[in-house]
Chains A and B, each alone.
Chain A
Amino acid sequence: MGSFRRDKDEEEDGPTNIYQNLEKTSVLQETRTFNETPVNARKCIHILTKILYLINQGEQLAAREATDCFFAMTKLFQSKDVVLRRMVYLGIKELSSIAEDVIIVTSSLTKDMTGKEDLYRAAAIRALCSITDHTMLQAVERYMKQCIVDKNAAVSCAALVSSLRLATTAGDVVKRWANEAQEALNSDNIMVQYHALGLLYHIRKSDRLAVSKLVNKLTRSSMKSPYAVCMLIRIACKLIEEEDIPSEELSDSPLFTFIESCLRHKSEMVIYEAAHAIVNLKNTNPRVLSPAFSILQLFCSSPKATLRFAAVRTLNKVAMTHPAAVTTCNLDLEGLITDSNRSVATLAITTLLKTGAESSVERLMKQISSFVAEISDEFKIVVVQAICALCTKYPRKHTVLMNFLSGMLREEGGLEYKTSIVDTIITIIEENADAKESGLSHLCEFIEDCEHVSLAVRILHLLGKEGPFAATPSKYIRFIYNRVILESPIVRAAAVTALSQFGASCPALLSNILVLLGRCQMDPDDEVRDRATYYLSILNSEKPELYKNYIIERENCSLALLEKALSDHLNGELNSRFDISIVPKAAIVKEEISNDMMLITNTPRVPKITREEESAARLALLPGIQVLGPIHRTTAPIQLTESETEYTVQCIKHIFAQHVVFQFDCLNTLSEQFLENVRVDLTLPEGYTTRAVIQCPKLAYNELQTTFVIVEFPPDAASSVASFGATLRFVVKDCDPVTGEPDSDEGYNDEYMLEDLEITVADQIQKTKKNNFQVAWDAADSEEWLQAEDTFVLSAVSTLQDAVNSIVKILGLGAANLSEKVPEGTHLHTLLCSGNFRGGAEVLVRAKLALSEGVTLNLTVRSTDQDVAELITAAIG
């Protein structure tokens, strides 16, 4: 019996093994068979299949091997076997990117493409286009045009799709095929229609009028291809968004009427596309939304998983923009929580969490806990993110949510999942002072048994930062010191640092900490010992200012800019010492909060860079920029023109210690004009001097180019707040809208008024975040620091929160100790914030606010520079 079974297995496996264990070199050897005459089609097909299989499995061919193989393949054009010929085309396409001299088959392919055999033609066109480049395209252009309008649908499709591919490299040639594409659009074949629409749109997409004409025509004729209708819906949506049709006029727009009519299409694909499009429009009103939402609601109960998925994904995406409408689907969504497709279930629950009311939080959390163990890590992360959003929305529910999160933290899970939970807990701690103690103790428990070094280090850092200011700091020390005994060197080092924070901030605990740190000096690891010794000697010094500068507030330089500053220093004359204080401190980069909870990615996160780091690289290209020193701050872009004018200009201000570099990004939207010597003339206020103007030599239609003006600040900080008049000046040359070539060398000077520019106080300040403001504030009560004080009545604002928001905005400072959030129902509030002025002067601001018929503000500014302190008090008034 056993032997019989084995025989059977071998039999079964036998034929499946033909493609296994193939060896590249031996398969490539077999290509010799291609040279035999007559060609043995069956054998050659098999060899070609093996080669393509190997490539598909990821085998890399060297250029030499690919070229040899390619040339051997060309012999196979002799055979009349249809399958073999088609495999040759496939081989050409696969090898065209690796092999050299692939253009040798052009004539064979052109022959097949124009021949009589329909089975060859379509595939030959696509193979030809994969080897054709811009220069050779002229030669086959005539044939391509014929093929686009060929009556054989496959040929026409192949030609249209290939044209789309070519359009990226040879757009100008493909543009000339618009008439043929237009003709193909009238074809009866649905795929030809679709591809023709794709090509036509691609050709015309930069010309909005033409697109709008195309769409208007097509929306009236009913297209048969559901794919084409879907595409038409997308184009129509894009037009609606661009025209910015207000919501009340939406129903009158023919574009919208078309999309709405698609809700009654017979294909589900189109119905969904239309519903999806409507709910995602920027300007909508409840009347037009309701039919779209009914469709989505209907899909929620479809037997097809894909339909349910599509509907829930869409609802999830718009849950924040149309909460009321999504709530009407809540019943259906709750039904989906137990869906057999976990993706659908998770999307349903996160949608419910997004729209849920405060009262239903408990019930929802209970429902989640019933299935959370079964779902994959990715979806758990989605759930955690939804909970995070919920915490921000309903801070009062933090106990329920925090307990739930700590339960999740105890369960099995990968690093990413655990990281997202820890992130969420940290966010809650930062945003909600009430949740701090319980959050910290949950995290303490977690590091007792945490296998992920990176998380343990992060939590220890957080404990060191927040722990000393908790009600009973001593209880955290046990958790931290346990790490020193039990963990790997990296965690031990982090624990030592955390311990020293307690020593520096809690005088009562100092003697205990000194004993513990003393023990750490015996550690087998160098780094741990070094840190212990370092902190021990600082703590033994008993000098508060040393504590502050070397333990509590160790600010890190922005690494990218430090690297740049150091390399500049090395390239310089080296006769002065490197001054680290001029390197900007690492700023907090705000993460873009995406509304789309859908994206579950495993791709590594792109390292976050600040605007300054980004612009440092860009400005480095300017001649002589090094003399300005390192960059202090880069502002967000400001538009200096209305959108949709002839020229659009936006300005970015790069602030240096003594200079400001205005960067103007200009766009020319006139296709019949070619601009030269583009520059911006500034009317400078008193005290400012222009140092350089860097023109933009050429500005062609639809190209974004940049021109710079470098201006020196006035010597006294007080007059640095000013406004600048700006005019765009350039030489205009008329040009051919199609080619972009100027008609003649003659041009004339012209100018264009821009909106005024301003330099504000906030522009000149880089915000910092003090971990413990009070310590810094007290330390600033010394002789090097200067103080300015003033009292104002703010009549423009009516609530404390508004006042706080506007102060932070005007001064551009970073708030500390969560003081930017005003608790509800209070009449007194103190805002604490800090920053660095250009040139390096530190700024600390304490703003005491009182609410009584308007807001009264008492502002105290401490700074290392008198001018700066006065400038800041003046900015509020």
Chain B
Amino acid sequence: MDGFMMDIIKGMCIMDNDGNRILAKYYDKNILSTLKEQKAFEKNLFNKTHRSNTEIIMLDGLTCVYKSNVDLFFYVMGSAYENELILLSVLNCLYDSISLILKKNVEKRLVLESLEIIMLAFDEICDGGIILDADPSSVVKRVDLRNDDIPIAEQTVAQVLQSAREQLKWSILK
């Protein structure tokens, strides 16, 4: 591939603490192109990484940098020849963006609640393997466009209860 200098990211992935894929994107047509290969790779990756938090691992000819928080695992994959620090900078951007979007509560439930925004963030960080942006604040500025005040009429009972509970929780914690 001629674009060897720009196609840096081979894949990005978020998994839960059972190793299930929440979001995953693979950018190189020649690597892990089928679902079966991807699932096998993810299973292997998760087994190798979920117990030890050591930041970086080589697997199946890919360099994977990773980070975990509460019940989530974040991975960024690059070729075995790639500058690991570039990959790390992308991982940090992915994690920090999500942390900003979720107001520091990086956990599975909230990720799923804001899944659309997280999907947009994925898309803003990497476009088909090229790093599009690595600055979390500028990524978040472009994707977190939600209008927080939901008209009360459109909220479901569960959502109302949820927000009430959150408020209660915070008032107790204070």
Contact = CB atoms under 8 A, between A and B. Distances in A.
Interface in B83-120: 83-89, 108-109, 112-113, 115-117, 119-120
Interface in B118-155: 119-120, 123, 127-128, 130-135, 138, 142-143, 145-146, 150, 154
Nearest to B85: A269
B2 A202 contact: yes
B83 A269 contact: yes
Contacts of A87: 116, 119-120
B56 A48 contact: no
Interface of B: 2-3, 5-6, 21, 23-25, 35, 38-39, 44, 48, 52, 54-61, 65, 80, 83-89, 108-109, 112-113, 115-117, 119-120, 123, 127-128, 130-135, 138, 142-143, 145-146, 150, 154, 158, 162
Contacts of B55: 304-306, 309, 341
Contact of A56 (B24, B130, B135, B145): B24
A122 B142 contact: yes
Contact of B142 (A126, A154, A164, A602): A154
A15 B115 contact: no
Q: Top 10 closest A-B pairs, CB basis?
A: A58-B35, A341-B54, A305-B55, A269-B85, A310-B84, A82-B145, A198-B6, A49-B116, A601-B61, A309-B56
A272 B83 contact: yes
19 contacts: A16-B112, A46-B116, A56-B24, A56-B119, A58-B35, A87-B119, A119-B142, A126-B127, A154-B142, A161-B127, A168-B3, A230-B83, A231-B5, A269-B89, A304-B55, A305-B56, A306-B56, A306-B84, A376-B48
A52 B115 CA distance: 10
B69 to A, nearest CB: 16
Contacts of B108: 16
- Most chain A CB neighbours (cut-off 10 Å) among B21, B61, B116: B116
A45 interface: yes
B134 A86 contact: no
Interface in A161-184: 161-162, 164-165, 168
B22 to A, nearest CB: 8
A17 to B, nearest CB: 9
A602 B60 contact: yes
A599 B5 contact: no
A269 B116 contact: no
B35 A49 contact: no
B132 A119 contact: no
A376 B55 CA distance: 16
A57 B120 contact: no
A82 B158 CA distance: 25
B44 to A, nearest CB: 8
A15 B110 CA distance: 9
A201 B133 contact: no
B85 A306 contact: yes
B39 A58 contact: yes
A83 interface: yes
Given A191-B134, A198-B5, A227 B84 contact: no
A26 to B, nearest CB: 18
A314 to B, nearest CB: 10
A337 to B, nearest CB: 15
Contacts of B123: 90, 93, 123
B116 A45 contact: yes
A766 B75 CA distance: 50
Contacts of B56: 305-306, 309, 341, 343
Nearest to A341: B54
A161 B135 CA distance: 17
A676 B65 CA distance: 52
Interface of A: 12, 14-16, 18-19, 42, 45-46, 48-49, 52-53, 56-58, 82-83, 86-87, 90, 93, 119, 122-123, 126, 153-154, 157-158, 161-162, 164-165, 168, 191, 194-195, 198, 201-202, 205, 227, 230-231, 234-235, 268-269, 272-273, 276, 304-307, 309-310, 313, 340-343, 376, 378, 596, 598-603
B85 A49 contact: no
A86 B145 contact: yes
Contacts of A306: 55-56, 65, 84-85, 87-88
A791 B49 CA distance: 66
B78 to A, nearest CB: 12
Given A309-B84, A600-B58, A600-B60, A164 B132 contact: no
A457 B43 CA distance: 31
Nearest to A309: B56
Contacts of A602: 44, 60
Contacts of B48: 376
Contacts of A157: 132-133
Contacts of B135: 191
B130 A161 contact: yes
A340 B89 CA distance: 22
Nearest to A162: B127
Contacts of A195: 130
A306 B162 CA distance: 40
A165 B128 contact: yes
A154 B123 CA distance: 13
Given A86-B120, A86-B143, A305 B59 contact: no
Given A304-B55, A305-B54, A341-B56, 18 more contacts: A15-B112, A15-B113, A16-B112, A56-B23, A56-B25, A126-B127, A158-B127, A161-B132, A191-B131, A191-B135, A227-B86, A227-B134, A305-B55, A306-B56, A307-B84, A601-B61, A602-B44, A602-B60
A18 B22 CA distance: 12
A783 B38 CA distance: 64
Nearest to B23: A56
Nearest to A268: B85
A153 B142 CA distance: 11
A290 B154 CA distance: 67
Contacts of B54: 305, 340-343
Contacts of A378: 58-59
Contacts of B109: 12, 15-16
B58 to A, nearest CB: 5
Contact of B158 (A14, A57, A126, A600): A14
A87 B89 CA distance: 26
Contacts of A86: 120, 143, 145
A269 B133 contact: no
Contacts of A57: 21
B168 to A, nearest CB: 14
B116 A48 contact: yes
Contact of B85 (A82, A191, A198, A307): A307
B143 A600 contact: no
- Most chain B CB neighbours (cut-off 10 Å) among A15, A123, A153, A234: A15
A227 B131 contact: yes
A201 B146 CA distance: 38
B72 to A, nearest CB: 12
A376 B23 CA distance: 27
A768 B133 CA distance: 58
A764 B128 CA distance: 50
Contact of B130 (A90, A198, A201, A313): A198
Nearest to A164: B6
Given A191-B134, A276-B83, A305-B56, A18 B112 contact: yes
Contacts of B44: 602
Contacts of B80: 596, 598-599
Contacts of A164: 3, 6, 130
B83 A15 contact: no
A272 B112 contact: no
A598 B58 contact: yes
Contacts of A49: 115-116, 119
Nearest to B47: A376
A47 to B, nearest CB: 11
Contact of A234 (B5, B38, B65): B5
B162 A15 contact: yes
Nearest to A45: B116
Contact of B83 (A14, A42, A90, A273): A273
